[in-house]
Structure 1
Amino acid sequence: MTRLLGRLGGACAAHPWRTIAAWLVAIAAFFSLAGAFGGTQHDNYRVEGTPSQAGTDFLSDAFPEMSGTSARVVVHGDSGDDLPAGVLADVRKRLAGLEGASLVDEPVFSRDGDTALFTVNYRVPVTDFHGTEGTDALREAAAPAEDAGLDVELGGQVPENVTKPAITAELIGVGAALVILLFALRSFTAAGLPLVVAVAGLGVGFAGVALLSAATDVSTIAPTVASMVALGVGIDYALLLVGRQAEGLRRGLAPRAAAAEATATAGVSVLIAGATVLLSLFGLRLSTVAVFASFGYATFCTVVAVMTAALTLVPALCGLAGHRVLPRAERLGLVRPEGAARSRRTGQTGAPAPPRATLTERWARAVTKRPLAAGLAALVVLLALAAPVLGMRTWPQDAGSQPESNTTRRAYDLVAAEYGEGANGPLQIAVDLTKTPADSLPALRDDLAAADGVAAVSPPRLNESGDAAVIAVTPTTGPQDERTQDLLDRLRADVLPEGAEATGVVAVFADISDRLAVRLWVVVPFVVGLSLLLLTVLFRAPVVALKAAVMNLLSVAAAYGVMTVVFQTDTGARLLGLPHDVPVSSWVPILMFTILFGLSMDYEVFLLSRIREDWLATGDPYGSVVRGLAATGRVITSAAAIMIAVFTGFAIDPDVTVKMIGVGMAVAVLTDATIVRMVLVPATMTLLGRANWWLPRWADRLLPELHLEPPAPADPGKPAAAETGDGRGRIPVGGGS
């Protein structure tokens, strides 16, 4: 593997313009294909095996006019007078003539008569509308009301499915990453390389997501989440390679040779770390929710693209940049290279002096000096951060959580103010009259109206063949209120007869939340087991692998806890631009878990590989921890800072789910790179000593020996290091110091 990667890096560095030209051709080709054959994203909330899905399928068959999507048009007058009947009749006629519309009911008026609510049913799915064409058609149909000076707001599935591409979050993340890279690499050329590589890979990845959308359902916010992850890992992977390139140049290697060495060493870590992220994403398939699997597909495309860009474009650009990868002062000889000392009298560079202890090394020595106290303190902090997760409530987000600038949010507020909170999430009761007699419908309506928490019940509507009916039930509470879900559970358990199912947006969201809560405990063992297996194979150390998995669980739990406090308290939610506290989106826990476990493995591989390498060379289980942490501290800190900057930028995204993922992942990376990597890892490894590298004999025979790191060149002035510990081969060194 190392030889192959080394040849790849050397070839790209030797022929940089060919490599760059190949990437430009690939970008152009992917974008051309995406423009010609790419699809559009939409949310597929179909969840097989749930009561709400059964009810939805039944209504689609029994009421073809209600088989497609729907929209709401809210017309409101500020004067308090009754709305002009002629204008409303004209609006209804225009709405009924919309392409794909099948049924437009008479408007429902508020009690004071100053608001009218139109519901438009379509015979086509929401995916038939591209971009804003559905919303534009609704707005044009409602033009007579706007011309009359009335307020018109749009709600329902058609306008809520429209997503406007926002690049503000990406720009903030890229800008912050550039500052961090300049600080870490001290060279404009070196700092710019990771950004160029990440953006190139992201471009190809986005085109791939568009092509994927033509073949399968991809969520509307999946590209945003995918770009968040890919931008962070792409910059990080390129940073590792550029850092190794600079090390090679300082040792006197030519740029091409340095690129080959960097790709053969740090490139292995990039390959393993990227593969771990990709494998963890497969855990989303176990959620059994199609929209969730699409997050995995989209992120898979973008991560593969940025990983490929890092392994090919970085050596090519480094070959072009030459020694400009190094800081300018170092190139001009104004400062001494790392490890060299200057004569006080002549100022000439002399023999290498013993390097001074870095801040990270001094910190590592302090932690390992009192490992028990440091480990317990870190554990207490993580548990304290994670404690609020016990109060986490999950629920898919609706228009009530959107910014007030959105017409869907204004429509939601108008409906809540004029018709009651529950009017934003009515339940649809689908009744199969072949199982429930038609003459029992009046009694069923009375039972529904008598249920605690019901505000109104519509008369039953029968289909043309008379074998099906639908009844609309309006709760007294809003869709996100826990009491609404309690009402749904009571109706299903005590009121609905055989052949009747509750469906509608609230019922669908409730069933999705329940399904995801159950499947989380399938996804967690899968991802944790996968990481345990991978780390055990890589490091031949089951104790280290188990410890890493536990620590990753702690950092994820801490992120969940902080996210719960931020979003489920009014103060925290308002600080992030939300109108009020909201439950944690049902999509977030599983999605965050799979992504974060993969990202945490990046830092685990980078750190443990250096510790393991030192252990094999010295047999010192304590000093290897200090030296390994000191060697990787700077690169891990820089990489984590970039990740945090990118994820924090997405916290300003108007979509609540994206905002939650950005906050949660930023917190998780922060705790992982500080409390876990800088305190808990060195403390526990010091306490365990040689037990870290214990391996049963039967496992020793079964596990492969991975010689992933190229052998170091022999130094005739030094004796060969005695092989100690378990005597196995070396594994990849992570990232460079």
Structure 2
Amino acid sequence: MFAKHRWAIVGFWLVVTIAGAVFGGGLFDRLATTGTNRADSESAVGQARIDELAPSGSMVFAVVEGFEPYDPRLIATVSAAAAEIRAMPGVKEVNDLYTGVGGGIGADNRSVSVRVELDPGMAEAPREALEDRVRDRLKQIQAPSVLVGGTKLAERAFADQSVHDLAIGESVAFAFLLVALYLFFGGFLAAALPIAVTVASVTGSLLVLLGLSHVTKVSEYSLNVVTLLGIGLAVDYSLLIVARYREERLRREPAEALDVAMRRAGRAVVISGLAVTLTLAGLTAFAEPLLAAVALGGAAVVALATLAALTLVPALIALSGDRIKPAARVRWGGLLARLAKRAQREPARVALLATVALLVLAAPLLGANLANSDARALPSSNEARRAYDVMEAKFQNNAAPAVSVLLQAGADRAEVRDLMNRIAADLRSELVRQDVRADVPAGWTILDLTPKGGVGGSEGYDLVRRVRALATPFPKWVTGPAAEVVDYRASLAGRLPAAALVVLLVTMALLFALTRSVLIPIKAVLMNLLTLAATLGVLIVLFQWGWGQVPLFFDSWGGLDLTTPVLLFVFIFGLSMDYEVFLLARIKEEYDARPDTDRAVLRGIARSGPVVTAAAICIGIVFLGFAAGGLVAVKEIGVGMAVAILIDVTIVRGLLLPALMGMLDRWNWWAPKLRRRAPASIKY
């Protein structure tokens, strides 16, 4: 089939590649900022009502440093800038130290702030244009240092950095991948095939995401994460097929070798692609906008990468004829084989030590701080991030953002005053101060509560929960950054069982279909959970504790992004299926030939180990390429997947898998009698 239609298949993917290169760039103009919480969460509902009752516009601020606050030169240049900005159409208010209210002096007594609020009713395009004009004028203030920032400016900086990181990640990944594939295959042609498939997958992914952007939001963050996954899988799947073809060429002619490779390795790709696609679909059970966007886009991109590997790789192999040389004769060695031999000598001891090692790596999870990374996700060199840091340190005293409480009752009601007194008396351990917001319509009250602790501190979360627990005779909504985190965590915790059930059922069903065993899928799920926990523990050490700041080039903000554990949960379960399927298929083939578990495990790992190791190195390069970017949240995913792969192909596949299979021996292959009537072997 592939030989007969090879030109049509290559032509189709060439059209996809060209179309993606020409039209895919339009996606970057359609990227949107996606919220983390659902619209029906209490924090989202409360904030939406506050925006209706007391709307506030986009805020642009400047931190001016290097002069004494009342230096005449500083007064003159700031006052001139404030006057010009105040005259710009669409500017609602300008607050500075000299011509308006609200300007502040920094804690170092050598800095002042200027705050500019824009009209809240402005549409996005004119608002962004006005933000640029305001920023440009603030930058003209004559001072040794002027840093300009703001929430919307930070969001735009995030989008720009995302596109930049995508380009850097792809460039680094492709450059190192080509070298690694050349060294593994020993030839340029075989190495070029996975690269060609990856290019087709990337450009095709842009078209897929462009189409999705017309029916749902595609965020900057989801673009990076989805592309990261698509590149990794395209390389992984292509490498498995090409490697199997070269192995079959040792004993078959090219056409027959290709047919056998597609029936065996191709089937493994189908199973793995199904697993990743369905587990990503399971992510939609969380229903949060950002996770839903990643799930939808990711499922589409994974399906595309799988289709490209299953069609374009064999078509290109057919076109190459016999120019792709057979693989070298398999040597019964390699890292995985040596580890497996060691595990088989003392399976119980190795299994115990491997499990303890993984649990030790997972231990930091007990102190995990999961929160929204906001402007802190930007690299420290970015001006919006620097402005945020200086504003927090010098003008906000690193105080936590306010918890806003919306009450459907006027401040003159006795019940409202009673509530304020209860908050002041009962919550004094979490509360710094309590303010009643002015200019609120009659019949409503907005309380701004400043919690103790810093940004992202537990005191803010505790305050949210305790205020929500207070009974009131009128409707009440608690919102603000801390409330958003509380709602997000609660939503994830509530929906995690459903999403986990989808992932686990998919994993177990596909592995049962492959091995006709009940225990092997259960073991695989447990080992994947250990890999996930160990990976998250390492990320806590690197990112939350800050141990990875120097080698990974970032500044720790003291936590992990809220989305990282959920995305890694799905990605690790999906991607580990590559190695699980490939190893188990070979082990099952050896066991069917001779029912000796230890022999089957060792020979299966020895035969497939080099390919699995090469695939792990290649996909690890892809993930580390994206870790070279500046966005901390994307860096967490890239580093996390690289760490997971390292753990998976050494401790888990090299030690724990052969040790457990050796301990269980024939019990590995137990299945209900009904299933024993079915053919038991799937040969790869």
Same fold per superposition (TM over 0.5): yes
The answer as to 2:615 corresponding to 1:639 is yes
In the other structure, the counterpart of 2:10 is 20
Structure 1 residues 647 and 31: alpha-carbon distance in aligned structure 2, compared to 1, 3 A threshold:
closer
Which consecutive residues of structure 2, in runs of 5 or more, have no partner in the other structure? none
Question: Conserved in 2, the CA contact under 8 Å of 1:185 and 1:191?
Answer: yes
Pairing partner for 1:93 from 64, 86, 102: 86
Structure 1 residues 120 and 89: alpha-carbon distance in aligned structure 2, compared to 1, 3 A threshold:
same
Q: Secondary structure at the match of 2:630?
A: coil
Matches within 5 A, 1:193-342: 193-254=193-254, 256-326=255-325, 338=329
Q: Secondary structure at the match of 1:114?
A: strand
How many angstroms does 1:407 deviate by? Answer: 2.3
Structure 1 residues 537 and 93: alpha-carbon distance in aligned structure 2, compared to 1, 3 A threshold:
same
In the other structure, the counterpart of 1:712 is none
In the other structure, the counterpart of 1:188 is 188
In the other structure, the counterpart of 1:73 is 61
The answer as to 2:99 corresponding to 1:148 is no
Q: Secondary structure at the match of 2:322?
A: helix
Tell me the amino acid that sits aligned with residue 115 of structure 1.
S
Give a deviation string over 1:128-160, Cα, whole Å, max 9, x none: 45xxx8555313124333323151411113532
Q: Secondary structure at the match of 2:154?
A: helix
Tell me the amino acid that sits aligned with residue 3 of structure 2.
G
User: 1:654, 1:359 → 2: CA distance?
Assistant: 34
Question: Conserved in 2, the CA contact under 8 Å of 1:621 and 1:689?
Answer: yes
Tell me the amino acid that sits aligned with residue 102 of structure 2.
V
User: 1:657, 1:286 → 2: CA distance?
Assistant: 22
How many angstroms does 1:443 deviate by? Answer: 6.9
Matches within 5 A, 1:164-175: 164=160, 165=163, 166=165, 167-175=167-175
Question: Conserved in 1, the CA contact under 8 Å of 2:341 and 2:602?
Answer: yes
User: 2:676, 2:93 → 1: CA distance?
Assistant: 69
Q: Secondary structure at the match of 1:115?
A: strand
Give a deviation string over 1:293-321, Cα, whole Å, max 9, x none: 11111212221222111112212222233
In the other structure, the counterpart of 2:104 is 110
How many angstroms does 1:414 deviate by? Answer: 2.6
Give a deviation string over 1:467-502, Cα, whole Å, max 9, x none: 334344444543222223233334434598743322
User: 1:432, 1:338 → 2: CA distance?
Assistant: 77
Tell me the amino acid that sits aligned with residue 460 of structure 1.
R
Q: Secondary structure at the match of 2:4?
A: helix
Structure 1 residues 249 and 546: alpha-carbon distance in aligned structure 2, compared to 1, 3 A threshold:
same
Give a deviation string over 1:609-639, Cα, whole Å, max 9, x none: 1111122222222311111111110111111
Tell me the amino acid that sits aligned with residue 222 of structure 1.
S
Tell me the amino acid that sits aligned with residue 641 of structure 1.
I
Question: Conserved in 1, the CA contact under 8 Å of 2:92 and 2:117?
Answer: no
Tell me the amino acid that sits aligned with residue 61 of structure 2.
V
Q: Which piece of structure 1 moves more, 478-487 or 262-271?
A: 478-487
Question: Conserved in 2, the CA contact under 8 Å of 1:528 and 1:549?
Answer: yes
Structure 1 residues 369 and 476: alpha-carbon distance in aligned structure 2, compared to 1, 3 A threshold:
closer
Question: Conserved in 1, the CA contact under 8 Å of 2:63 and 2:147?
Answer: yes
For the aligned residue pairs, the C-alpha RMSD in angstroms reads 3.0
How many angstroms does 1:536 deviate by? Answer: 1.7
Structure 1 residues 206 and 492: alpha-carbon distance in aligned structure 2, compared to 1, 3 A threshold:
same
How many angstroms does 1:444 deviate by? Answer: 6.2
Structure 1 residues 677 and 697: alpha-carbon distance in aligned structure 2, compared to 1, 3 A threshold:
same
Q: Secondary structure at the match of 1:622?
A: helix
Q: Secondary structure at the match of 1:462?
A: coil
Structure 1 residues 410 and 366: alpha-carbon distance in aligned structure 2, compared to 1, 3 A threshold:
closer
How many angstroms does 1:70 deviate by? Answer: 2.9
User: 1:375, 1:237 → 2: CA distance?
Assistant: 30
Matches within 5 A, 1:320-469: 320-326=319-325, 338=329, 360-361=336-337, 363-421=339-397, 425-433=401-409, 437=412, 451-452=428-429, 454-455=431-432, 457-463=434-440, 466-469=442-445
User: 2:142, 2:206 → 1: CA distance?
Assistant: 42
Structure 1 residues 145 and 549: alpha-carbon distance in aligned structure 2, compared to 1, 3 A threshold:
closer
Question: Conserved in 2, the CA contact under 8 Å of 1:423 and 1:478?
Answer: yes
Q: Given the two structures, how large is their TM-score scaled by the length of structure 2?
A: 0.88
Question: Conserved in 2, the CA contact under 8 Å of 1:75 and 1:117?
Answer: no
User: 2:383, 2:42 → 1: CA distance?
Assistant: 31
User: 2:471, 2:116 → 1: CA distance?
Assistant: 29
- Matched residues, percent identical? 30
User: 1:584, 1:81 → 2: CA distance?
Assistant: 37
How many angstroms does 1:504 deviate by? Answer: 2.4
Structure 1 residues 247 and 416: alpha-carbon distance in aligned structure 2, compared to 1, 3 A threshold:
same
Q: Secondary structure at the match of 1:383?
A: helix
Q: Which piece of structure 1 moves more, 561-570 or 365-374?
A: 365-374
In the other structure, the counterpart of 1:714 is none
User: 1:446, 1:527 → 2: CA distance?
Assistant: 48
Q: Which piece of structure 1 moves more, 561-570 or 692-701?
A: 692-701
Q: Which piece of structure 1 moves more, 452-461 or 551-560?
A: 452-461
How many angstroms does 1:545 deviate by? Answer: 1.0
User: 1:554, 1:231 → 2: CA distance?
Assistant: 25
Q: Which piece of structure 1 moves more, 220-229 or 143-152?
A: 143-152
Give a deviation string over 1:554-578, Cα, whole Å, max 9, x none: 1111101111111221333344223
Which consecutive residues of structure 1, in runs of 5 or more, have no partner in the other structure? 1-6, 331-336, 340-354, 706-727
User: 1:359, 1:212 → 2: CA distance?
Assistant: 43
User: 2:547, 2:397 → 1: CA distance?
Assistant: 22
Q: Secondary structure at the match of 2:407?
A: strand
User: 1:143, 1:108 → 2: CA distance?
Assistant: 21
Structure 1 residues 211 and 250: alpha-carbon distance in aligned structure 2, compared to 1, 3 A threshold:
same
Q: Secondary structure at the match of 2:170?
A: helix
User: 2:393, 2:564 → 1: CA distance?
Assistant: 30
In the other structure, the counterpart of 1:686 is 662
How many angstroms does 1:367 deviate by? Answer: 2.6
Structure 1 residues 115 and 102: alpha-carbon distance in aligned structure 2, compared to 1, 3 A threshold:
closer
User: 1:480, 1:359 → 2: CA distance?
Assistant: 43
Tell me the amino acid that sits aligned with residue 602 of structure 2.
V
Structure 1 residues 45 and 358: alpha-carbon distance in aligned structure 2, compared to 1, 3 A threshold:
closer
Question: Conserved in 2, the CA contact under 8 Å of 1:401 and 1:578?
Answer: no
In the other structure, the counterpart of 1:697 is 673
Tell me the amino acid that sits aligned with residue 192 of structure 2.
G
Question: Conserved in 1, the CA contact under 8 Å of 2:61 and 2:113?
Answer: no
Matches within 5 A, 1:637-676: 637-676=613-652
Aligned residue pair count: 661
Tell me the amino acid that sits aligned with residue 152 of structure 2.
Q
Give a deviation string over 1:44-83, Cα, whole Å, max 9, x none: 23424432122123224434x44xx733322424212344
Tell me the amino acid that sits aligned with residue 160 of structure 1.
E
Question: Conserved in 2, the CA contact under 8 Å of 1:75 and 1:145?
Answer: no
Tell me the amino acid that sits aligned with residue 398 of structure 1.
D
Q: Secondary structure at the match of 1:654?
A: coil
Tell me the amino acid that sits aligned with residue 583 of structure 1.
G
User: 1:617, 1:94 → 2: CA distance?
Assistant: 84
Q: Secondary structure at the match of 1:214?
A: coil
Q: Secondary structure at the match of 1:140?
A: helix
Tell me the amino acid that sits aligned with residue 50 of structure 2.
L
Q: Which piece of structure 1 moves more, 32-41 or 264-273?
A: 32-41
Question: Conserved in 2, the CA contact under 8 Å of 1:249 and 1:323?
Answer: no
Pairing partner for 1:544 from 520, 544, 555: 520
Question: Conserved in 2, the CA contact under 8 Å of 1:268 and 1:732?
Answer: no
Matches within 5 A, 1:519-668: 519-668=495-644
Pairing partner for 1:157 from 146, 149, 152: 152
Q: Secondary structure at the match of 1:570?
A: coil
Tell me the amino acid that sits aligned with residue 64 of structure 2.
H
Q: Secondary structure at the match of 2:212?
A: helix
Q: Secondary structure at the match of 2:478?
A: strand
